[in-house]
A = this chain, B = another copy of it.
Amino acid sequence: MKVQRTEDPGIGTSFEKPVERLMARDGSFRVDRIGESTGLREGFVALVTMSVGRLMLTFVLGYLTMNLLFGSLYMLIGVENIGNADMDTLAGRWMSAIGMSVQTLTTVGYGSLFPNSGSAWFVAAVEGVFGILGFSLISAVLDARFARPKANLVYSENALIAPYKDGWSFQIRLANRRSTLLVEVEARILLVMADVDDQGERLNYYNLPLQLDRVTFMPLSWTLVHPINPDSPLAGLTADDLKARRAEFLVIIKGMDEGYMGSVFTRRSVRYDEVVWGARYVRAFSVKEGATRLDLNKLSEHMPVEAPVRLPA
């Protein structure tokens, strides 16, 4: 057999027991890390990478907590240390304390309430700084979330065993969901298949050579095509073989986002049960009055094609 195995890309070649999937569908690795570092930086990264909804919630809760905390401090030292405070009722005192905190934390400082003793000045001096630093942090989080390149590629739901020239090929289609241009894009597909021998199960990695593995620009969709010739690790296999050997295709894309002028990486895992045996992608773009229109909703569209049960060897 002429097929060349590739080196382990860093995932490992043997595990105690079979793994369902090496890489999640979205290209992430699900690894629990015991002894992981936990510091301010990790907290910051968590804020930068959490979902928008959770970030907003975290922020609102943080803001409420800070106001409650400092409001309680003003209550603790006594609202009589705040000038103009409403001393009549408990509700009035809390409103004054919270109001004092709000105007200090946001640095608005109406001054309808104001510190009139050393202790109140001290709490206010601390709170003012917390406010500024907290909002600086929020600002840094926003900056890190938005001002950094991050690819948003969309892949077709399925990979295909599709006709190519006089034979067959493995194909997967992708496109940029953003309107910023990706340039100098490189693609690579790794195939992982398990083999059982006398030493137990072993994962084998194969590089699938592509008809085109690098494009200068990617304005439209791009179909990655691995021609299945006799040197291909897929030559002579059936759909059942893929299943039996738990085939998983790792698609790795690397490029440069022109809007952000920075490198972007993205990955996708396609398992044997996400490969359509015998199909052809339907073109997703059209030319209308000189301009090109790309329909991202059609990216996964394909039509069936009669394919042999066993790929030619």
Which A residues form the contact surface with B (CB < 8 A)? 7-12, 15-17, 19-21, 28-37, 39-42, 44-45, 48-49, 52, 63, 67, 83, 95, 98-99, 102-104, 106-118, 121, 124-125, 128-129, 131-133, 135-140, 142-150, 152, 177-181, 183, 185, 190, 212, 215-220, 222, 252, 256, 258-265, 285-288, 290-297
Q: Give complex CA distance A104, B17 in Å.
A: 61
Which one, B29, B99, B181, B183, contacts A121 given CB within 8 A?
B99
On chain B, the residues within 8 Å of A28 by CB distance are: 181
Residues of B within 8 A of A103 (CB): 108-110, 124, 128
Question: Could you list some 13 contacts between A and B, CB below 8 A?
Answer: A10-B216, A10-B218, A10-B219, A10-B222, A19-B287, A29-B181, A34-B293, A36-B296, A45-B259, A99-B121, A110-B124, A112-B114, A136-B139
A-B CB proximity, top 5 nearest: A10-B215, A106-B128, A35-B296, A112-B114, A111-B111
Given A32-B294, A261-B264, A129–B106 Cβ distance below 8 Å? yes
A35-B177, A147-B144 are contacts. A292–B19 as well, Cβ < 8 Å?
Answer: yes
Known contacts: A106-B128, A124-B108, A132-B106. The answer to whether A295 contacts B143 by CB under 8 A is no
- Chain B neighbourhood of A63, CB < 8 A: 129
- CB of A16 within 8 A of CB of B287, answer yes
CA distance A113 to B113 in the complex (A): 12
Q: Give the distance in Å from the alpha carbon of A129 to the alpha carbon of B138 in the complex.
A: 11
Query: Known interface pairs A7-B212, A297-B35. Does A20 touch B290 (Cβ–Cβ under 8 Å)?
Result: yes
Q: Which of B11, B104, B150, B290 contacts A217 (CB 8 A)?
A: B11
A51, chain B: closest CB distance, angstroms: 11
B121→A185 contact, CB < 8 A: no
Contact A83 B112 (CB under 8 A): yes
Q: List, in ascending order, chain B residues with CB within 8 A of A12's CB.
A: 220
Given A111-B110, A139-B136, A181-B29, check contact A146 B217 (CB 8 Å).
Answer: no
For the complex, give the distance between the alpha carbons of A64 and B122 in Å.
Answer: 11
Nearest B residue to A45, CB-CB: B259
